[in-house]
Amino acid sequence: MTTQNLDSLGPTEGKAVAVSVPISDLFRSVYLWFVLFGLLMRRSNRNRSAWIILFPLLVIYIILHIAESWLNSYFIFNLHMYICSLICELLRFFAVSLAILLSVSDLITIQNRSLRFFLVFLIIFFAGALAINFSEPVILNVIVLTTMFGILLLIFMVSRSVISVLLRKFFSYHQLTLYAVVCFVLGFCPILILGIIEVILSRSVQLQSTQVIFRNAIIISQAISAPYIVFLWFVLLALFSPFYRRRFAQSFGLTTQQDLIPL
């Protein structure tokens, strides 16, 4: 029932209008899950260890749902609800795309880091683009949203490669525990720091004029650093699951036996 003044469109409190929603629309956001389930039925994935990948996915979806509701209520950062929803949706696409990558990464046998980087990027990008096309977003059109996803993915992939090089340079072998710590710091610290600054600015009348700048900074940092929050859960999966530790190695370049040993 409408509760706002509709002017010439009808009375403020008119009759309720029934809206018919096709069943297919209810599943748009989870179509890629069916693709993942199909890939998990491959012969190399026909064991209990392969299905553990659903656990980090569910955790990520729950966290994003809570974060989206929290941010949209202007409880902390006072961000625009559409921007928050857009970023959370891109992170969901990213999470499912990572899961799809790991479900087929046993097929990746390329030793050249540059070629492997390109192949992994393409797999994640096309999986994400497929998810965006399925979802038929209403905030932005498919082309714009796919472009945004590709840019953010490229930034993440390049920065992740730099982190891998630095860890390989300063440590005798690639330690997944340190990798998880780095993902945690990069994922949470920028948002928390800027959020604290936002709270401080909101308490000062003199500084409130600069809040817009910090809100823009929060949006940018959230879009760039939040993928590490998603990636963190897959690093933890690799830490505690020998099955996905090897899959993670085949996807992201941990190619030696020593690299597969966590702390």
Which of helix, strand or coil describes residue 111?
A: coil
DSSP conformation class of 28: G
- Return d(Cα 91, Cα 149) in angstroms, integer: 9
Between the two ends of the chain, the Cα-to-Cα distance in Å is: 59
What is the C-alpha to C-alpha distance for residues 263 and 177, in angstroms, rounded to an integer?
6
Ordered per-residue pLDDT tens for the chain, 263 residues: 445 555 555 555 656 655 555 544 545 567 788 889 999 998 888 888 899 999 999 999 998 888 777 665 554 445 556 777 788 888 999 999 999 999 999 888 888 888 999 999 999 999 999 888 887 666 678 888 899 899 999 999 999 988 888 887 777 665 678 888 889 988 888 777 776 776 666 666 555 555 666 666 677 777 788 899 999 999 999 988 889 988 888 888 754 444 444 44
Q: Please give the Cα distance from 157 to 160 (Å, whole number).
A: 5
Integer Cα distance of 133 and 130 in angstroms: 5
- 69: closest CA among 81, 78, 57? 81
Which residues 6+ apart lie within 8 Å of 171 measured at CB? Answer: 178
Instruction: Give the pTM.
Output: 0.79
Show the tokens assigned to 79.
């961000």
HSE-CB of 103 using CA atoms within 13 angstroms: 28
* Long-range CB pairs of 241-247, under 8 A, 24+ apart, other chains included: 241/49, 241/52, 242/49, 243/47, 243/49, 243/50, 243/52, 244/49, 244/52, 244/53, 244/102, 245/176, 246/106, 247/102, 247/105, 247/106
DSSP letter at 138 equals S
Contact 153, 126 (CB under 8 A): no
Element (H, E) at 40: helix 31-40
